[in-house]
């Protein structure tokens, strides 16, 4: 990422299939100032999530896309032995990284 939120380089694993798809995209990998992923807090993905939550039939108001970030970070910490929080925050002391993130 050229400009991560904390100005520190951050590695992101991209499966080979995704790299190929991005390279073959009509706009290519060189987009200038355009974002590669134009994710907004509305539109198709949010409508899809609302539909899925409604079909689940339970109160899932607490589930958001940000919830998934924490879920992923927790899984990486527990099962992948990767400290996802430390890669995002400059002044994170080791003792702050525990179970759930």
Band of pLDDT at residue 95, cut at 50, 70 and 90: very low
Domain chopping of the chain, boundaries: 16-96
Average pLDDT of the segment spanning 89-98: 49
User: What does the alpha-carbon distance between residue 10 and residue 4 come to, in Å, rounded to a whole number?
Assistant: 7
What pTM value is reported for the model? 0.42
Is a pLDDT exceeding 70 seen at residue 28?
no
Which residues, in sequence order, are CB contacts of 96 under 8 Å at separation 6+?
85
User: pLDDT of 31-88, one tens digit each?
Assistant: 667 666 666 777 888 888 889 889 988 788 888 888 888 888 888 788 877 766 555 5
From 71, 75, 69, select the one nearest 88 (Cα to Cα): 69
């Amino acid at each position: 990422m050229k400009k991560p939120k904390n100005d520190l380089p951050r590695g992101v694993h991209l499966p080979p299939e995704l790299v190929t798809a991005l390279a073959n995209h009509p706009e290519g990998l060189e987009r200038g100032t355009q974002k590669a992923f134009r994710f907004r807090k509305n539109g198709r993905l949010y409508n899809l999530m609302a539909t899925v939550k409604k079909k689940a039939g339970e109160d899932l108001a607490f589930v958001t896309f940000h919830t998934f970030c924490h879920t992923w970070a927790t899984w990486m910490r527990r099962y992948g032995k990767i400290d996802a929080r430390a890669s995002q925050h400059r002044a994170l002391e080791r003792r702050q990284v525990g179970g759930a993130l």
